[in-house]
């Protein structure tokens, strides 16, 4: 049904976008915050990585992308914890501001291309052959996933999880919630920006609109992953984000194969997310109706 | 150990809802003191705990714990030294985290010698198992279960263990057995007593139960309208019967069905 090219590109994109799903696992599931910074942080990662790549520093570009993402996250966290702006609004404010920042990073042009410069992928191509895109993408994501799982078991990680899980408990224990929320949002947005940074180098172009709807795509992947994996262990949830992201890319590939215009994809993603998040409520109503 | 001097707090001052919750409270606790606190609703018992734990700043007065003035210290910094349990068993534990993770969180944050990136070791895990086994609730075999699956009594016992895993300087118990069924409440009270005695923890407990106000600990306070109106300790306390205490309660013009029933 799939050609090898389609199969490979679904796997590669799945790995790259899995970082966004992991970021949302951290913000949406662990911290219980719907972080609207995601779209802007993704584009910020693209922009920073692309600009650095054009300047001849593709790997430094990824590091800078993560740092930029962390900055974006810290702005959202500050709006939320210091200025007491509701979390969703805080994210939207940062996201709106980031549009200008992103344009500025790309030298006030709406796109940057990297066709003639060395990227992370062209650097490893001579040694890895056909797998030159899959292996780096997979390795970075796997490393991030393992790192995230381990981090969530540390003292700081446990504090972050408790912050999202039981605010009452956290208020009575020695956890500074402003700090844990800030660390959580910085980390999640650095993952998102890293994803954007890799994607830009992967497709050799960055565009101001690349991040639009990313929060929904990430949530869709995360939720698909959750339905696939049994409930329980932390590492399974993180692995679920990766598998969900890959499966999401396959769904998109199928949709494209059915000659669905690519403009429909965002609507499909939106429907998947609405259904998946809304399903427990629908089940509840039906139970009540039956009783 | 703990010294409260002239502690005052008025909520919503200057409005029709103005409420003087603490009206010049003075109290001194010696190390190892276990104080039980009685009083009708609105007497200022929980507000007193709030002032000690730092949930709000008092209008006047000071809180000195173990020689350090903590009156203005933010609550999350105080709770390193002050363990606190609430009436609601759901308030003290994180339901989606496992028993082990809840204990790890309590242990790593309170011991004060761990970096933010430290994790629990196999030795810590064995220690948790031993401490859980002492609760005699079978929780030591369910360390990887989410806490949300436990009953209210089990969660409250776990919260108690978390608050005392690293011995706190002060333990505040705000009617921590009131939401439990009588048999479970009895068990959690026994646990409280043995943990507090074993570790020589300085402890304050709010209760509506007159017999436990007299049987537990070494001092009993009665509060009314933000003041301490009665204090019992030593031989005087030993000679006081539940009936005497109930009479004193009524003499103060207070009434509470819960206090009344507990004395029967």
Are A69 and A193 spatial neighbours (Cβ–Cβ below 8 Å)?
yes
Asked if the structure places residue A116 within a domain, the reply is yes
State the pLDDT at residue B42: 83
- The chain A residue lying nearest B84, using CA atoms, is A172
Alpha-helix residue ranges (DSSP H) falling in A106-176: 120-128, 134-151, 155-165, 167-171
Query: How far apart are the C-alpha atoms of A142 and A123, rounded to whole Å?
Result: 20
Which residues in A lie closer than 8 A to residue B86 (C-beta atoms)? Answer: 168, 172
Q: pLDDT digit string (tens) for B32-90?
A: 999 999 988 888 899 999 999 988 899 999 999 998 999 998 888 888 889 889 988 88
Specify the number of domains making up chain A.
Answer: 1
First to last CA, chain A: 46
Asked if the structure places residue A55 within a domain, the reply is yes
State the pLDDT at residue B264: 53
Query: How far apart are the C-alpha atoms of B156 and B87, rounded to whole Å?
Result: 9
Q: Which residue among B79, B90, B114 sits closest to A174, beta carbon to beta carbon?
A: B79
| Among candidate residues B189, B120, B155, B72, the one with its CA nearest the CA of residue A168 | B155
B1-81+169-264: what CATH class? alpha beta
- Report whether pLDDT(A291) > 60: no
- Interface touch B90/A168, C-beta < 8 Å: yes
Query: How far apart are the C-alpha atoms of A25 and A34, rounded to whole Å?
Result: 10
Q: pLDDT digit string (tens) for A240-250?
A: 999 999 999 99
Which residues in A lie closer than 8 A to residue B114 (C-beta atoms)? Answer: 155
- Interface touch A166/B93, C-beta < 8 Å: yes
Query: How far apart are the C-alpha atoms of B115 and A157, rounded to whole Å?
Result: 12
**Strands (DSSP E) along chain A, which ranges?**
111-113, 205-207
Task: Note whether B119 contacts A: Cβ–Cβ < 8 A.
Answer: yes
Task: Note whether B113 contacts A: Cβ–Cβ < 8 A.
Answer: no
The chain-wide mean pLDDT, for chain A, equals 91
Q: pLDDT digit string (tens) for B88-133?
A: 888 889 999 999 999 998 888 777 667 888 888 888 899 999 999 9
Domain boundaries, chain B: 1-81+169-264, 92-167
Are B138 and B122 spatial neighbours (Cβ–Cβ below 8 Å)?
no
Asked if the structure places residue A56 within a domain, the reply is yes
Are B100 and B79 spatial neighbours (Cβ–Cβ below 8 Å)?
no
Task: Note whether A32 contacts B: Cβ–Cβ < 8 A.
Answer: no
- Taking each helix axis from N to C terminus, what angle separates A177-202 and A214-228, rounded to the nearest 10 degrees? 100
DSSP H or E run through B214: helix B210-215
The model carries a pTM of: 0.87
Are A221 and A46 spatial neighbours (Cβ–Cβ below 8 Å)?
no
Range of the domain at A79: 4-212+230-237
- Interface touch B76/A153, C-beta < 8 Å: no
The number of helices, as runs of H, and strands, as runs of E, in chain B is 10, 10
Query: How far apart are the C-alpha atoms of B213 and B207, rounded to whole Å?
Result: 7
Asked if the structure places residue A260 within a domain, the reply is no
Query: How far apart are the C-alpha atoms of A221 and B150, rounded to whole Å?
Result: 31
Q: pLDDT digit string (tens) for B208-240?
A: 888 888 888 899 999 988 889 889 888 888 888
Query: How far apart are the C-alpha atoms of A248 and A11, rounded to whole Å?
Result: 10
Q: A152, A167, A172: best mutation site toward chain B, by most B Cβ within 10 Å?
A: A172
**Running DSSP on this structure, what letter comes out for residue A34?**
-
The question of ipTM being above 0.85 is answered as: no
Asked if the structure places residue A44 within a domain, the reply is yes
Asked if the structure places residue A242 within a domain, the reply is no
Asked if the structure places residue A268 within a domain, the reply is no
Residues 6+ apart with CB under 8 A from A285: none
Q: pLDDT digit string (tens) for A155-198?
A: 899 999 999 999 878 877 778 889 999 999 999 999 999 999 99
Give the minimum alpha-carbon distance from A172 to chain B in angstroms, rounded to a whole number.
7
Asked if the structure places residue A208 within a domain, the reply is yes
């Amino acid at each position: 049904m799939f050609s090898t090219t389609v199969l490979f590109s679904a796997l590669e994109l799945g790995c790259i976008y899995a970082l966004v799903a992991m970021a949302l696992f951290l913000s949406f599931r662990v911290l219980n915050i719907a972080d609207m910074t995601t779209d802007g942080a993704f584009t910020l990662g693209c922009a920073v990585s692309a600009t650095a790549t054009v300047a001849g520093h593709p790997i430094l570009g990824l590091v800078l992308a993560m740092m930029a993402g962390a900055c974006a996250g810290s702005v959202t966290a500050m709006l939320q914890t210091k200025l007491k702006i509701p979390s969703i609004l805080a994210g939207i404010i940062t996201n709106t501001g980031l549009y200008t920042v992103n344009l500025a990073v790309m030298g006030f042009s709406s796109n940057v291309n990297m066709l003639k410069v060395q990227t992370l992928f062209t650097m490893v191509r001579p040694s890895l052959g056909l797998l030159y895109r899959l292996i780096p993408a997979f390795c970075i994501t796997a490393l991030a996933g393992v790192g995230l799982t381990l981090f969530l078991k540390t003292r700081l990680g446990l504090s972050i999880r408790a912050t999202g899980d039981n605010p009452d408990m956290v208020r009575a224990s020695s956890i500074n919630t402003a700090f844990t929320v800030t660390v959580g949002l910085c980390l999640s947005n650095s993952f998102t920006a890293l994803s954007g940074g890799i994607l830009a180098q992967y497709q050799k172009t960055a565009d101001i609109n690349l991040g639009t709807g990313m929060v929904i795509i990430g949530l869709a992947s995360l939720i698909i992953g959750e339905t696939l994996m049994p409930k329980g262990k932390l590492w399974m949830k993180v692995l679920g984000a990766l598998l969900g992201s890959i499966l999401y890319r396959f769904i998109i590939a199928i949709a494209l194969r059915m000659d669905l215009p690519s403009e429909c994809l965002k609507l499909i993603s939106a429907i998947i997310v609405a259904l998946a998040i809304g399903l427990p409520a629908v089940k509840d109503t039906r139970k009540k109706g039956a009783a | 150990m703990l010294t409260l001097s002239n502690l005052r707090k008025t909520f919503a001052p200057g409005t029709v809802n103005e409420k003087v919750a603490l009206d010049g409270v003075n109290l001194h606790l010696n190390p190892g003191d276990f104080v039980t606190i009685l009083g009708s609703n609105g007497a200022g018992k929980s507000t007193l705990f709030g002032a000690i734990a730092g949930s709000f700043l008092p209008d006047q007065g000071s809180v000195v714990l173990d020689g350090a003035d903590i009156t203005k210290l933010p609550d999350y910094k105080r709770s390193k030294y002050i363990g606190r349990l609430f009436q609601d068993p759901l308030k003290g534990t994180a339901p989606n985290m496992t028993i082990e993770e809840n204990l790890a969180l309590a242990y790593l944050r309170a011991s004060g010698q761990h970096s933010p990136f430290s994790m629990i070791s196999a030795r810590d895990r064995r220690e948790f198992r031993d401490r859980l086994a002492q609760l005699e609730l079978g929780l030591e075999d369910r360390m990887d279960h989410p806490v949300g699956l436990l009953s209210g009594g089990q969660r409250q016992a776990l919260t108690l263990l978390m608050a005392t895993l690293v011995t706190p300087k002060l333990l505040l118990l705000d009617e921590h057995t009131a939401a439990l069924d009588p048999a479970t409440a009895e068990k959690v009270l026994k646990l409280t007593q043995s943990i507090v005695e074993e570790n020589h923890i300085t402890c304050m407990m709010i209760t509506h139960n007159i017999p436990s106000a007299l049987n537990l600990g070494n001092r009993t306070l009665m509060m009314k309208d933000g003041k301490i109106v009665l204090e019992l300790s030593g031989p005087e306390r030993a000679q006081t019967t539940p009936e005497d205490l109930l009479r004193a309660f009524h003499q103060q013009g207070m009434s509470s069905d819960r206090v009344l029933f507990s004395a029967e």
